[in-house]
């Protein structure tokens, strides 16, 4: 992003900290919307350190610089932080491993901490504030130290906003706003401020491309009993969309005026999601109003997909499956013919086949194509500066996904290259058993989703094995590939918000990673649907329908490790894949599909 090295930038940061008499600087991986994927303008942590993972927290003092990341990124961070001046801090579920714990142990009384109030959520600030009170620290949120040293900082994006086709929407935006207003009445709130970009896009039935991989646009939204106000750069909207919003009595105000508007509100009771609203916005509201902190109603609404939305997603899965069959057929052919292939080639080819599909908008995240040791990095990404050729023997892990006008996809498959060892086949089969265990699970409606994780991991745990990421995340409808509130991970707390309901779409992605050797992950997307029983004495139950349509590699399986029930599931899955994709394929690619969906 500019010619300075991370060490140079760290030196400049410390100089500006001295200027403003700040003892510690904190940078969260966030923007004013608490997004996972950030516009370039807000990629502060990446610009400072060179670490490209999606999550991490920086703490800098005059004699220390650390980056806190969880187990998904330990190996990657260790490599990327070399010679930067930053030290990897391995964060675990133990509270003692957090940056807050470090601050409490290493800062002295009356220390001044600088954190940009636009990039720390209300909930995160609350935890930091408690620490500050306990240790007599002072927190300053109105300084943007980075802006003074990032001389070539990118501007905020100005990509156009478009409306989704009417036939893709289960409800109009006015119907969604009415449903939110009904929730406000129940919660005794008079207004609701929303910053989460995917919530705003869902409510307004609009999409954009301000953020890489996510079809969203930079905006804030305020809904009260009689007013709906969008804070957005009006240059992004066509005259037609402006007129339509005006006819629906939805007003537009400049994006930059959000805090000023909130500061002028008087004697309102305003609902915010403390995880998804910055402390700068919350403090602006609190000047003359009362806050209610609760989950955004839209987060719960959009997580439970309407049957018509699921119908469209199934269609997107067919398109994605067709593209993947063409890709894997190409990969098999190229490997057999001895063509030169590397991890970058994989990304180019799989994206190219998807781009041929109708309604393709782009990727849903950066493609992970990791051969052997690179596959052991759960969030690895090949670059022009660092990539591996795919040659010899081993395992190739490919995690990829796409955004289509009618759905979002996310899939991981592992492909054997050359010869595979007994150990690799055993591990592959164990991960497959974990995947099938979750796919076959029947569970009570309303169960906290983290509780399902132990069902998935049982097979690995029996061998003393595990993986350091969740088993499943929610997925949006032509929206963010990571969506809440459900999460299938024993690392996550079981709360009332993480309950499983009909229509929720999640990933099913157990894995196993041997550092320096290889990684395995098998991922499909699944949707919760009602499991019908004649006797409902014990309530209603749900089961998963697998949505992803792509063969699971058969050549790495040790059949003796699968029981009859697991073999039956795999055969049924492949029968479904073949039935839905075969009508859209022909010639050698159709033959490839038939060969790779044979019953075992």
DSSP string spanning 442-495?
EEETT-BGGGGHHHHHHHHHHTT---SS-SEEE--SSS-SSEEEEEE-TTS---
CA 255 to chain centre: 25
Domain boundaries, the chain: 6-149, 162-295, 304-596
Alpha-carbon distances of 45 from 143, 146, 366, 431, rounded to whole Å: 16, 10, 18, 34
pLDDT-derived band at 131 (thresholds 50, 70, 90) equals: very high
Domain 162-295 bears CATH identifier 3.40.350.10: yes
Burial classification of residue 583, based on how many CB atoms lie within 10 Å of its CB (0-12 exposed, 13-18 middle, 19 or more buried):
exposed
pLDDT-derived band at 93 (thresholds 50, 70, 90) equals: confident
**For residues 285-312, average pLDDT:** 97
What are the tokens at 551? 């063969």
In this predicted structure, the answer to whether residue 178 has a pLDDT above a threshold of 60 is yes
304-596: what CATH class?
A: alpha beta
Which contacts (CB < 8 Å, 24+ apart) does range 330-339 have?
331/415, 332/592, 333/588, 335/390, 335/417
What is the rounded average pLDDT for all residues in the chain?
A: 96
3-state secondary structure 347-385: HHHHHHHHHCCCCEEEECCCCEEEEHHHHHCCCCCCCCC
C-alpha 413/C-alpha 424 separation (Å) is 14
C-alpha 440/C-alpha 92 separation (Å) is 30
DSSP letter at 300?
A: H
Q: For position 73, what pLDDT does the model report?
A: 85
Are domains 6-149 and 162-295 of this chain identical in fold?
yes
DSSP letter at 380?
A: -
In this predicted structure, the answer to whether residue 71 has a pLDDT above a threshold of 90 is no
CB 302 within 8 A of CB 283: no
| pLDDT single digits (tens) 559-574 | 999 999 999 999 999 9
CB 150 within 8 A of CB 47: yes
| pLDDT single digits (tens) 372-410 | 999 998 888 888 888 999 999 999 999 999 999 999 999
Please tell me the pTM assigned to this model: 0.94
CB 195 within 8 A of CB 277: yes
Alpha-carbon distances of 509 from 40, 265, 349, 374, rounded to whole Å: 29, 45, 23, 18
- The SS3 assignment for 27 reads strand
CB atoms within 10 A of CB 163: 18
Q: For position 378, what pLDDT does the model report?
A: 85
C-alpha 441/C-alpha 430 separation (Å) is 17
Q: Is the peptide bond before 557 cis (omega within 30 degrees of 0)?
A: no
Residue with the two structure tokens 């459900």: 486
C-alpha 556/C-alpha 554 separation (Å) is 6
| More confident: 536 or 251 | 251
Task: Report the candidate in 8, 13, 108, 110 with the shortest Cα–Cα distance to residue 59.
Answer: 13
Sheet containing 402-404: give its strands across. Answer: 360-363, 402-404, 407-408
CB 341 within 8 A of CB 350: no
Q: For position 146, what pLDDT does the model report?
A: 96
What are the tokens at 207? 């999409």
6-149: what CATH class?
A: alpha beta
Q: For position 517, what pLDDT does the model report?
A: 97
260-285 in b/e form (b: 16+ CB < 10 A) is ebbbebeebebbbbbbbbbbbbbbbb
CB 332 within 8 A of CB 592: yes
Query: Cβ contacts of residue 595 below 8 Å, gap of 6+?
Result: none
Which residues pair with residue 90 across a beta bridge? 69
| More confident: 3 or 4 | 4
DSSP letter at 274?
A: T
In this predicted structure, the answer to whether residue 242 has a pLDDT above a threshold of 80 is yes
CB 74 within 8 A of CB 95: no
C-alpha 577/C-alpha 308 separation (Å) is 21
In the chain, the percentage of residues whose pLDDT exceeds 70 is 100
Which residues pair with residue 231 across a beta bridge? 220, 253
Q: For position 46, what pLDDT does the model report?
A: 94
In this predicted structure, the answer to whether residue 249 has a pLDDT above a threshold of 60 is yes
Q: For position 509, what pLDDT does the model report?
A: 98
3-state secondary structure 89-110: EECCCCHHHCHHHHHHHHCCCC
Residue with the two structure tokens 């478009």: 162
Following DSSP, what letter does each residue of 506-544 receive, concatenated?
EEE--EEEETTTEEEE-BEEEEEEEE--S--TT--EEEE
Q: For position 534, what pLDDT does the model report?
A: 87
DSSP letter at 278?
A: B
pLDDT-derived band at 30 (thresholds 50, 70, 90) equals: very high
What are the tokens at 597? 């969906």
Which residues pair with residue 368 across a beta bridge? 399
C-alpha 34/C-alpha 285 separation (Å) is 17
DSSP letter at 503?
A: T
In this predicted structure, the answer to whether residue 2 has a pLDDT above a threshold of 80 is no
Q: For position 1, what pLDDT does the model report?
A: 44
C-alpha 137/C-alpha 129 separation (Å) is 9
9 conformational bin, left if phi > 0, alpha if psi -120 to 50, beta if neither:
alpha
Following DSSP, what letter does each residue of 173-233 receive, concatenated?
HHHHHHHHHHHHHHTT-SEEEE--HHHHHHHHTEE--SBTTB-----EEEEESS-EEEE--
């Amino acid at each position: 992003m500019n010619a300075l090295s991370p060490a140079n930038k760290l030196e400049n940061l410390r100089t500006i900290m001295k200027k403003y008499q700040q003892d510690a600087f904190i940078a969260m991986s966030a923007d004013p919307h608490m997004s996972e994927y950030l516009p370039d303008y807000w990629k502060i942590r990446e610009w400072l350190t060179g670490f490209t993972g999606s999550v991490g927290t920086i703490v800098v003092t005059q004699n220390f610089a650390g980056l806190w990341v969880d187990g998904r990124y330990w190996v990657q961070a260790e490599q990327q932080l070399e010679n930067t001046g930053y030290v990897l801090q391995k964060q675990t579920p133990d509270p003692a491993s957090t940056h807050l714990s470090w601050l409490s142990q290493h800062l002295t009384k009356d220390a001044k901490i600088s954190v940009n109030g636009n990039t720390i959520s209300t909930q995160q600030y609350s935890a930091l504030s408690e620490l500050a009170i306990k240790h007599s620290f002072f927190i300053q949120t109105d300084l943007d130290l980075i802006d003074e040293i990032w001389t070539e900082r990118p501007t905020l994006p100005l990509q156009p906003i478009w409306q989704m086709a009417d036939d893709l929407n289960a409800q109009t935006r006015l119907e969604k706003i009415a449903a939110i207003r009904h929730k406000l009445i129940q919660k005794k709130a008079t207004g609701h401020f929303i910053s989460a970009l995917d919530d705003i896009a869902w409510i307004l039935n609009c999409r954009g491309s301000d953020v890489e991989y996510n079809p969203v646009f930079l905006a804030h939204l305020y809904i009260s009993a009689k007013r709906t106000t969008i804070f957005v750069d009006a240059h992004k909207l066509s005259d037609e969309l402006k007129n339509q919003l005006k006819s629906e009595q939805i007003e537009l105000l400049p994006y930059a005026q959000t805090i000023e508007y909130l500061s002028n509100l008087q004697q309102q009771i305003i609902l915010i999601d403390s995880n998804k609203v910055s402390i700068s916005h919350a403090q602006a509201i609190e000047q003359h109003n009362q806050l209610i902190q609760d989950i955004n109603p839209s987060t719960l609404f959009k997580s439970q997909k309407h049957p018509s939305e699921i119908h469209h997603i199934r269609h997107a899965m067919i398109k994605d499956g067709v593209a993947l069959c063409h890709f894997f057929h190409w990969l098999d052919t190229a490997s057999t013919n001895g063509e030169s292939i590397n991890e970058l080639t994989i990304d180019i080819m799989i994206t190219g086949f998807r781009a041929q599909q109708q309604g393709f908008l782009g990727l849903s995240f950066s493609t992970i194509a990791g051969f052997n040791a690179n596959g052991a990095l759960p969030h690895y990404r090949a670059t022009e500066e660092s990539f591996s050729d795919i040659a010899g023997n081993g395992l190739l892990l490919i995690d990829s996904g796409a955004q289509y006008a009618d759905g979002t996809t996310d899939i991981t498959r592992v492909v054997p290259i050359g010869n595979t060892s007994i150990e690799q086949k055993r591990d592959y089969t164990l991960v497959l058993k974990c995947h099938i265990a979750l796919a076959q699970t029947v569970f009570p409606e309303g169960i906290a989703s983290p509780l399902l994780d132990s069902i998935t991991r049982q097979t690995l745990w029996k061998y003393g094995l595990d993986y350091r990421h969740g088993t499943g995340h929610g997925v949006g409808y032509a929206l963010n590939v990571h969506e809440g509130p459900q999460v299938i991970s024993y690392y996550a707390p079981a709360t009332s918000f993480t309950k499983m309901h009909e229509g929720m779409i999640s990933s099913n992605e157990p894995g196993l990673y041997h550092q320096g050797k290889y990684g395995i992950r098998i991922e499909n997307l699944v949707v919760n649907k009602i499991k019908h029983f004649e006797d409902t004495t014990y309530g209603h139950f749900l089961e998963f329908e697998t949505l992803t349509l792509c063969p699971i590699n058969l050549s790495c399986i040790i059949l003796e490790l699968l029981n009859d029930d697991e073999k039956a599931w795999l055969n049924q899955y492949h029968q479904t894949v073949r039935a839905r994709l075969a009508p859209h394929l022909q010639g050698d690619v159709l033959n490839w599909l038939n060969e790779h969906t044979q019953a075992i």
